[in-house]
């Protein structure tokens, strides 16, 4: 089944949403300017609505059918990320321990970095063991803004 795509405006830039009736497969913020979609496909309207509610502080969590594509291990990591509460953070080591093996920290961090559903699968809530903001595909400034939006305690300031 083919994927539908829509571009929506967010406080972090223009986001590209991809998915179909089987679920959402992608949500990333574009680095370049892209035209906003005026008629959002039906399969993506709920995602667009929930993202808007999230940024308006009307929704702390998402309730969407997800269908990210990846390896079984990546999917396990992404499922674990969904358990991190709004406004809370965990470290990469804690993430590896939750997955059942503290030695998988690098593999878990790599899977975290390949998360295709930014914000919706909250990879931004994973921080370094020293409390620093590390490793966010969308840029550390976006990670900081998301954590500030959620009211999470942040030690490192970027600017």
- Active site residue: 17, 111, 117, 123, which one? 123
Question: Which residues does 130 contact at the CB level (< 8 Å), separation at least 6?
Answer: 155
**Dihedral angle over CA of 90, 93, 94, 95, nearest 10:** 80
Q: Which two tokens stand for residue 55?
A: 């940024």
Alpha-carbon gap, residue 4 to 83, rounded angstroms:
27
Taking the CB of residue 119, how many other CB atoms lie within 10 A of it? 22
- If we measure between CA atoms, which residue out of 117, 113, 122, 111 comes closest to residue 25? 117
Active site residue 123: yes
Q: Which two tokens stand for residue 73?
A: 């291990």
Catalytic residues: 123
């Amino acid at each position: 089944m083919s994927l539908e795509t829509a571009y929506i405006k967010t406080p972090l830039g223009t986001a590209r949403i991809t998915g179909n009736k089987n679920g959402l497969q992608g949500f990333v913020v574009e680095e370049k300017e892209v035209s906003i979609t005026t008629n959002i496909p039906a399969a993506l309207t709920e995602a667009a609505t929930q993202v808007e509610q999230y940024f308006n502080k009307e929704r702390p969590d998402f309730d969407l059918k997800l269908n990210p594509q990846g390896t079984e291990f990546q999917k396990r990591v992404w499922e674990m990320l969904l358990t991190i509460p709004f406004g809370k953070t965990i470290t990469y080591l804690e993430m590896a321990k939750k997955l059942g093996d503290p030695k998988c920290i690098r593999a878990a961090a790599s899977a975290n970095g390949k998360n295709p559903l930014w914000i919706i699968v909250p990879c931004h809530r994973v921080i370094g063991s020293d409390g620093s903001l590390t490793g966010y595909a969308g840029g550390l400034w976006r990670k900081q803004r998301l954590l500030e939006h959620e009211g999470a305690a942040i030690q490192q300031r970027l600017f």
